[in-house]
A and B are shown apart, each in its own frame.
Chain A
Amino acid sequence: MTASAAAPVLEAVGVGYTYAGRTPTVALEGLGLEVRDNEFVALLGPVGCGKTTLLRIFAGFLRPATGTVRCAGSDIDGPGWQRGYVLQEVAIFPWMTVRENLEFGLLAKGLAPSERRAVSDELLGLIGLSAFEAAYPKELSAGMSKMVEVSRVLATDPSLLLLDEPFGALDAQTRARMQDALARLWEHRRKTVLFVTHDAEEALYLADRIVVLSERPGRVRDEFAVDIPRPRSFETRFSARFLELKRLVWEATGARGAPST
């Protein structure tokens, strides 16, 4: 674990959530989680373990049935730019150009056009899309669209990034390239990140710490500090430490068929 004495940016205590219905589904139960300043945490768990539910609670779209969630010391009360949320679905605005997409949060903040332009210029450069500033999303690849979504959230300078399987729908090669792009972006603009994924390798490549969730109802099953130096590269994926951690994480997720807790 990273040695940081600072108060956590994100804090969940005893969080439970149940979806109402004819057969109510308990999605989360007694979940506790802390994310510290500038930490990149990956939330790893099987499909349907409540990862997205937890992220929507942090984003402010759902209220936990039990427990408390706090961001930067205050209770989370509805969505807001302070917690930049990248949805699992494609949510880039197709009727806006790439630049307009990047500037939307700044528009909502009431920034002047010149200030907005300065921020979007920087982000366009960082993700290598300067040539596409006036293009509509239909002209972008799925991977680049997702990078625009991540950058759009970064533009408002939130205290926390919530990413819900941003590269889940991509093929392995594109995924690796996007992970590199995200890692570069993150090294440029240090941020507190909570990254949801079901891909152990992705979690290892990107995160400082991996939190493994159990099957439904989701709660924290295990935790791993990823003590692999940055910047990480293609070679990192084949280093001894990486493979060793991968084995541990895989085992923790129950991939071997170990009895689940």
Chain B
Amino acid sequence: MTSPRVRRAVVALAALAVLYALAAELGHGRLPDRIWLGAHYVENVQLLPTFRSLAEEGTFLVESRILLDSIAVSTRRVFLGLLLGSAAGILLGLLTGWAARLEVLADPWVTFFRFTPALALLPLYVVWFGYGETSKVLLIATNVAVITLLGAHQGVRGVPAVYLDAAASLGASRWLRFRRVVLPMAFPTILASVRIAAGLAWVTIVVAELIDARMPSLGYLLALAGAYPRVPTMLIGIATVGALVLLFDLLALLLYAQATRWMERVA
């Protein structure tokens, strides 16, 4: 969050943009505009669209409200899924972390889901909950819940015994120790898992929206652009998803810094 970091980020992004502009201008007129797409040729393909054509495409996408509507719909799904999944995952993780008996019950299930790609659940969710919002939000929530459950569980388990002993010795009940020792100590680990989950939620939604082919949504916007194929739309769609992931991460970081002022260093 410090200004040197912001400056470095701006420089890095600018450098990439300049490199891309150079490549696009050099390729303009030299790269093939006719490509083989599995079963047929497609004409008028811009493999590396110039900034000019990106700007034209961007203007169209904004003026037609396609981009903004897609952002609104996809963001809403990610946000709801993240909220629902974090709530469930963190709650369960805190429970299994703090109650040793529950851990025995939960452990094999956590391992099972940990390496099961949540996307594999998509067909099942479509059958159970139908095409539409519910299956998508729940798919994200499932994905997020598994990650945050692990984060919360490990966060609780990682609380040094000395703090718990000191608190018990000062007469703190189990509930007070949980609230005033375990929660603040586990918080950084939990929030780190939410950050990872947020990134994964965007991956999940983009893929999930390919299945339920309906506009507006960023996933289907990318799918349509790929079918045509229309590279400027693709690049704008990818950049939009990237920017949204970055925005979510920034919000998480702000929250993190606010809640961990007591630590030696703020990440």
Q: How far is the CB of A62 from chain B (nearest CB, A)?
A: 11
A contact residues, range: 20 to 34
In Å, the complex CA distance between A59 and B184 comes to: 25
Complex contact A105–B170 (CB within 8 A): yes
Q: Which A-B residue pairs are the 4 nearest by beta carbons?
A: A81-B171, A105-B170, A91-B166, A85-B169
A32-74 near B? 1/0 per residue, CB < 8 Å: 0000000000000000000000000001110000000000000
Complex contact B181–A93 (CB within 8 A): yes
Complex contact A138–B264 (CB within 8 A): yes
> Within 8 Å CB of A87, what residues of B?
162, 165-166, 169
> Within 8 Å CB of A136, what residues of B?
261-262
Does B15 reach chain A (CB closer than 8 Å)? no
> Within 8 Å CB of A149, what residues of B?
166
Q: Contacts A89-B162, A90-B162: A80 and B169 contacting too (C-beta < 8 A)?
A: yes
Q: How far is the CB of B137 from chain A (nearest CB, A)?
A: 34
Which of B163, B166, B181, B264 has most A Cβ within 10 Å?
B166
Q: How far is the CB of B105 from chain A (nearest CB, A)?
A: 27
Q: How far is the CB of A192 from chain B (nearest CB, A)?
A: 16
Complex contact B185–A104 (CB within 8 A): no
Complex contact B171–A109 (CB within 8 A): yes
Q: Which of B168, B181, B184, B185 contacts A79 (CB 8 A)?
A: B168
- Footprint of B on A, CB under 8 Å? 59-61, 79-81, 83-85, 87, 89-91, 93-96, 104-105, 107-109, 136-138, 149, 152-153, 156
Does B172 reach chain A (CB closer than 8 Å)? yes
Q: How far is the CB of A153 from chain B (nearest CB, A)?
A: 7
Q: How far is the CB of A101 from chain B (nearest CB, A)?
A: 10
In Å, the complex CA distance between A80 and B262 comes to: 27
Complex contact A91–B163 (CB within 8 A): yes
In Å, the complex CA distance between A104 and B180 comes to: 9
> Within 8 Å CB of B172, what residues of A?
104-105, 107-108
Complex contact B262–A152 (CB within 8 A): no
- Footprint of A on B, CB under 8 Å? 162-163, 165-173, 176, 180-181, 184-185, 261-264
In Å, the complex CA distance between A94 and B162 comes to: 12
> Within 8 Å CB of A93, what residues of B?
163, 166-167, 181
Residue on B nearest A78 in the bound complex, by CB: B168
> Within 8 Å CB of B185, what residues of A?
95
> Within 8 Å CB of B171, what residues of A?
80-81, 105, 108-109, 156
In Å, the complex CA distance between A238 and B262 comes to: 42
Q: How far is the CB of B40 from chain A (nearest CB, A)?
A: 63
Interface SS of B by simple majority? helix
In Å, the complex CA distance between A138 and B264 comes to: 7
> Within 8 Å CB of B264, what residues of A?
138
Ordered by A's residue number, 8 sampled pairs between the chains whose C-beta atoms are within 8 Å are A84-B169, A90-B162, A95-B185, A108-B171, A108-B173, A136-B261, A138-B263, A138-B264
> Knowing that A104-B170, A108-B172 are A-B contacts, what are 5 other residue pairs whose CB atoms are under 8 Å apart, sorted by A's residue number?
A85-B169, A95-B262, A105-B171, A149-B166, A156-B171
> Within 8 Å CB of A80, what residues of B?
169, 171
Q: How far is the CB of B191 from chain A (nearest CB, A)?
A: 14
In Å, the complex CA distance between A87 and B160 comes to: 13
> Within 8 Å CB of B173, what residues of A?
108
Q: Which of B169, B176, B262 contacts A94 (CB 8 A)?
A: B262
Q: Contacts A61-B165, A89-B162, A91-B163: A96 and B262 contacting too (C-beta < 8 A)?
A: yes
Q: Contacts A94-B262, A95-B185, A138-B264: A152 and B170 contacting too (C-beta < 8 A)?
A: yes
Q: Contacts A79-B168, A138-B264: A91 and B162 contacting too (C-beta < 8 A)?
A: yes
In Å, the complex CA distance between A34 and B261 comes to: 45
> Within 8 Å CB of A138, what residues of B?
262-264
Q: Contacts A93-B163, A136-B261: A108 and B169 contacting too (C-beta < 8 A)?
A: no
Q: How far is the CB of B267 from chain A (nearest CB, A)?
A: 15
> Within 8 Å CB of B176, what residues of A?
107-108
In Å, the complex CA distance between A149 and B176 comes to: 18
Q: Contacts A91-B162, A93-B163, A108-B176: A156 and B170 contacting too (C-beta < 8 A)?
A: yes
Q: Which of A60, A95, A137 contacts B184 (CB 8 A)?
A: A95
> Within 8 Å CB of B162, what residues of A?
87, 89-91
Q: Which of B165, B180, B184, B263 contacts A91 (CB 8 A)?
A: B165
Q: Contacts A105-B171, A108-B173: A79 and B165 contacting too (C-beta < 8 A)?
A: yes
Q: How far is the CB of A132 from chain B (nearest CB, A)?
A: 14
Q: How far is the CB of B182 from chain A (nearest CB, A)?
A: 11
> Within 8 Å CB of A152, what residues of B?
170
Complex contact A153–B170 (CB within 8 A): yes
> Within 8 Å CB of B180, what residues of A?
96, 104, 107
> Within 8 Å CB of B261, what residues of A?
136
